[in-house]
């Protein structure tokens, strides 16, 4: 990487590293972090599974509702990462400090905007799905506690984002390891009565699982605050007397983040509506859908790690005005993404039934979940390289194309097609699964086309 040695203060940490090493150095800790989180989610469902199918259905439904919250995170995180990475690459310390302060402010505001409405309107949100009374009562408790967890999560986004932009994802991996490990240990303690599962203590059931997550979110936030004292933290410790709220800078973050968030939200929101179709086929369909999504979350793990690396590196290369090196890095990113996706798709396709059986041995759930997993595995073969291209656009701050493509794929194709196949054509659940796979195919192809146009390399933020 000798070509980085001249005028490369903002890329100092990348000098001497090959492109694959640059990508992998950011991607693998992020992937491990996501793996830890997904494993927690799977273990959480497994613990809740001892409480019965209704409990699994409630946790699965709320998990999909919370997917909307993950989409809202993009309002802040995508814009913050794009700006932080661009300013780090340009070695513009003053602009970095200004953007960081506004990200802290927006974290509080957006966190309140998410958690308060969910707390107030939780009954109406769940009422939309026409659940049985037993599933409804369990889901209501679970959802309200997780609404508070969402506020805590938003407070930590600026801290996560600035370390990601800097490429220091190993630190974040350690935070995740500690937090998720603690969560897994607390789950059985909170869920089961004294003596059950050896460590059961509080007998809080589904409520206990939600409380365990809240406690660990708070602990993770404390760890992130402690990391701001490190010498290599990119921004000096904030002085409250120097803190200024800038509407212009806040809008700058939102202008990048809102389209990205709409893109992220399109999938989970359409998934919620899709679940409205699925509830007509009984608890087995809901449980199989939730289990399938959680297993396939392992597939999205490496994609999220790769996407994080691409967004961070694209922003820094653009900030340093190193377009040739950026293009070489992206070729390696596509190669890595496609290679890994072929392996994971094959695994999920051929072992789908066994994966569902691990979580819930009911024959109806196994049938529903395994077919769903197979269709997702096929769709991801195209959606993954498209996602790599979208990550480059996001890193450049050009987030509108991803928003448009996501709306087309998940709202204009997936939902109408799922309804037609499931009901008028009488294919049932399999029709819903097929529509999901087709949406991923369309999404991937459109994103690859938009990336290939190359306009994102000249995007100004």
Q: How far apart are CA 89 and CA 172, in angstroms?
A: 21
Domain residues for the domain of 427 are 17-458
Task: Judge whether 206 and 52 are in contact, CB under 8 Å.
Answer: no
Q: Within 10 A of 155 (CB to CB), how many other CB atoms are there?
A: 18
Domains identified in the chain, total number: 1
pTM exceeds 0.85: no
Residue 3 domain-assigned? Answer: no
**Does some domain include residue 7?**
no
399, part of any domain: yes
Instruction: Compute the radius of gyration of the chain from its Cα atoms.
Output: 22
Q: Is 2 contained in some domain?
A: no
Q: Six-digit token pair at 119?
A: 């707390």
Per-residue pLDDT, 407: 94
Q: How confident is the prediction along the chain (461 residues), in pLDDT tens digits per residue?
A: 445 554 556 687 787 788 999 999 999 999 888 788 767 776 777 788 888 888 888 888 888 777 676 667 888 999 999 999 999 999 898 899 989 999 999 999 999 988 999 999 999 989 988 888 989 999 999 999 989 998 999 999 999 999 999 999 999 999 999 998 898 889 899 999 988 877 889 999 889 989 998 999 999 999 999 999 888 898 877 666 667 788 888 899 999 999 988 887 788 788 878 888 888 787 788 888 888 887 887 777 888 899 999 999 999 999 999 999 999 999 999 999 999 999 999 999 999 999 988 887 888 888 888 999 999 999 999 999 999 999 999 999 999 999 999 999 999 999 999 999 988 898 988 999 999 999 999 999 999 999 999 899 988 88
pLDDT, residue 224, reads 94
Would 350 be classed as within a structural domain?
yes
CA gap 190, 188 in Å, rounded: 5
């Amino acid at each position: 990487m000798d070509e980085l040695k001249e005028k490369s203060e903002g890329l100092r940490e990348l000098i001497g590293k090959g492109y694959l090493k640059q990508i992998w150095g950011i991607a693998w800790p992020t992937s491990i972090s996501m793996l830890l989180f997904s494993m927690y989610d799977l273990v959480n469902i497994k613990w809740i599974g001892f409480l019965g199918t209704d409990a699994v259905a409630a946790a699965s439904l709320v998990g999909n509702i919370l997917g909307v919250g993950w989409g809202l995170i993009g309002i802040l995180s995508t814009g913050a990462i794009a700006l932080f990475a661009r300013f780090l690459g340009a070695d513009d310390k003053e602009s970095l400090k200004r953007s960081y302060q506004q990200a802290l402010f927006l974290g509080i505001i957006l966190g309140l905007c998410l958690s308060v409405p969910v707390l107030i309107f939780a009954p109406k949100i769940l009422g939309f799905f026409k659940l049985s009374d037993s599933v409804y009562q369990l889901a209501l408790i679970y959802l309200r506690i997780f609404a508070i967890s969402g506020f805590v999560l938003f407070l930590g986004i600026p801290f996560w984002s600035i370390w990601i932009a800097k490429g220091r994802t190993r630190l974040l991996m350690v935070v995740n390891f500690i937090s998720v490990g603690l969560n897994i240990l607390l789950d059985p303690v909170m869920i089961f009565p004294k003596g059950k599962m050896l460590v059961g203590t509080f007998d809080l059931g589904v409520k206990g699982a939600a409380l365990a997550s809240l406690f660990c979110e708070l602990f993770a936030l404390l760890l992130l605050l402690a990391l701001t004292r490190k010498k290599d933290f990119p921004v000096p410790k904030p002085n409250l007397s120097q803190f200024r709220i800038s509407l212009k800078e806040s809008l700058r973050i939102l202008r990048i983040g809102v389209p990205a968030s709409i893109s992220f939200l399109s999938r989970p929101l359409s998934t919620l509506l899709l679940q409205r179709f699925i509830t007509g086929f009984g608890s087995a369909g809901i449980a199989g859908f939730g289990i399938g999504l959680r297993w396939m979350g392992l597939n999205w793990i490496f994609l999220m790690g790769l996407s994080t690396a691409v967004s961070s590196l694209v922003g820094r290369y653009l900030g340093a005005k190193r377009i040739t090196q950026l293009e070489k890095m992206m070729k390696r990113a596509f190669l890595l993404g496609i290679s890994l996706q072929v392996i994971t798709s094959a695994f999920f396709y051929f072992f789908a039934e066994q994966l569902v059986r691990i979580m819930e041995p009911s024959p109806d759930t196994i049938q529903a979940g395994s077919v769903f997993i197979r269709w997702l595995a096929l769709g991801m073969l195209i959606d993954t390289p498209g996602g790599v291209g979208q990550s480059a656009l996001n890193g450049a701050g050009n987030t509108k194309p991803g928003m448009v493509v996501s709306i087309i794929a998940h709202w204009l194709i997936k939902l109408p097609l799922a309804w037609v196949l499931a009901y008028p054509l009488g294919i049932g659940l399999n029709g819903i699964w097929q529509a999901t796979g087709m949406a991923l195919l369309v999404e991937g192809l459109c994103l690859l086309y938009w990336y290939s146009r190359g306009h994102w390399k000249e995007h100004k933020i």
